[in-house]
Amino acid sequence: MAQVVVRLYRPDDAPAAVAFFGEAAGLDPTLQAVTPDGWDQYCNMSFNAGARDFAIAERDGALAGVLMSYGGVWQDAAFRHFRIVVHPHHRRQGVGTRLLRLVEAQDDPPTTRLQSNLIGTWTAGQAFARKECFRIVRSQIFMTRVGPAPDAVPVPEGFTLRAYRGPEDDADWTRLTLEGYGGTPDFSGITQDDLDSYRSGQGFGLCFAERDGDVCGLCHTMDWQDEGPCINSVVVTAKARGCGLGKALTAAGMRAALGDEGTKISLNVVSDNEPALAIYRGLGFETTDESVTWQKPR
């Protein structure tokens, strides 16, 4: 039986780790290769603390698995977030399990929960997590629409749409964001700094709906890294729901974001948000991927 040795990651493992991900992605198309710079940047992101808690599994001297792991605090509770990748040639030999045992021992006292984000195509990862008694706490769908801007959708009677006017609208922007997203488990609040940064960011677009002078809906769009425009938020206040305002607002936001030239727009949405999904599907968005958060309370 081949011997598996687990040890902490060292900075001089970087070239071998990059080669590992490249090879693994060549054999398993659901994985992604990394560049040396991309790996270095990832290891040095503040939460990863220079890959301090990362680990390597070797099987008979060959690099068989990599653990990426960091601890954090959310709503006053400590958690540990991790990802394990086992080389396709070394799977089903207990390597993933050995790395998970290390994750479990990384905090003293133990954190309240362990968690991992698994993309939908990682079927082995889902089976592994299920066997280890993790459960799904949340899932998000990534959607994209390719094509010219949609036709305008008629605004329901009694409502008008208008563009953001400037800081005088910030109180309404904050109020609607809290109403729309305040209850989601990973919502961490919205500050004036957040609004200022959105406003000065690439591709900023914000459209409001009003009825009798009351702001009762919004659609906020922005550019997402190099991916082009995305819909960041759509909110309709409880009293104004159910009459088609969300669809009219979303279409208006898309038209402004795409203009005459744009062809691709994306978004992500919590997967049980049926009203939002109906709007997005109705406007031509299609699901491209899913990310599922698994957790194990301790």
Ligand X SMILES: CC(C)(COP(=O)(O)OP(=O)(O)OC[C@H]1O[C@@H](n2cnc3c(N)ncnc32)[C@H](O)[C@@H]1OP(=O)(O)O)[C@@H](O)C(=O)NCCC(=O)NCCS
Positions in 26-55 near ligand X (CB under 6 A): none
Residue 296 in contact with ligand X, rule: CB under 6 A? no
Query: Using the rule CB under 6 A, which residue among 69, 111, 115, 116 binds ligand X?
Result: 116
Query: Using the rule CB under 6 A, which residue among 43, 51, 63, 85 binds ligand X?
Result: 85
> Which of the stretches 11-19, 79-87, 164-172, 207-215 binds ligand X when contact is defined by CB under 6 A?
79-87
Beta carbon of residue 76, minimum distance to ligand X (angstroms, whole number):
25
Beta carbon of residue 253, minimum distance to ligand X (angstroms, whole number):
35
How many C-beta atoms surround the C-beta of residue 103 within 10 A? Answer: 19
- How far are the Cα atoms of 29, 232, 233, 256, 269 from residue 181, in angstroms, in the given order? 34, 11, 9, 23, 11
Which residue type is seen at 150?
P
Q: Which of 83, 87, 68 is nearest to 2 (CA)?
A: 87
Can you list the alpha helix ranges (DSSP code H) found in 219-273?
245-258
The residues that bridge with 269 in the sheet, in sequence order, are: 141
Residue 103 in contact with ligand X, rule: CB under 6 A? no
Query: Using the rule CB under 6 A, which residue among 48, 97, 266, 291 binds ligand X?
Result: 97
The nearer residue to ligand X, 43 or 118, going by C-beta atoms, is 118
Query: Using the rule CB under 6 A, which residue among 131, 162, 241, 264 binds ligand X?
Result: 131
What residues contact residue 4 under an 8 Å CB cut-off, 6+ apart?
A: 57, 58, 59, 64, 93, 94, 95, 98
> Which of the stretches 14-22, 121-129, 150-158, 206-214 binds ligand X when contact is defined by CB under 6 A?
121-129
- How far are the Cα atoms of 91, 135, 165, 196 from residue 82, in angstroms, in the given order? 18, 15, 43, 32
In the stretch 223-262, what mask flags binding to ligand X with x, by CB under 6 A? ----------------------------------------
> Which of the stretches 104-112, 114-122, 257-265, 271-279 binds ligand X when contact is defined by CB under 6 A?
114-122
Residue 91 in contact with ligand X, rule: CB under 6 A? yes
Four-residue CA torsion sign, 295, 45, 122, 95: negative
Query: Using the rule CB under 6 A, which residue among 124, 137, 190, 277 binds ligand X?
Result: 124
d(CA 4, CA 58): 6
Beta carbon of residue 125, minimum distance to ligand X (angstroms, whole number):
2
Helices 192-200, 170-181: crossing angle, 10 deg rounding: 110
- For 293, the enclosing helix (H) or strand (E) is strand 286-297
Question: Quick check: helix, strand or coil at residue 219?
Answer: strand
d(CA 177, CA 120): 28
> Which of the stretches 115-123, 181-189, 193-201, 226-234 binds ligand X when contact is defined by CB under 6 A?
115-123
d(CA 24, CA 89): 9
Residue 92 in contact with ligand X, rule: CB under 6 A? yes
Residue 96 in contact with ligand X, rule: CB under 6 A? yes
Residue 86 in contact with ligand X, rule: CB under 6 A? yes
> Which of the stretches 40-48, 80-88, 104-112, 159-167 binds ligand X when contact is defined by CB under 6 A?
80-88
Question: For ligand X, how many residues bind (rule: CB under 6 A)?
Answer: 19
Binding site for ligand X (CB under 6 A): 83-86, 91-97, 116, 118, 122, 124-125, 127-128, 131
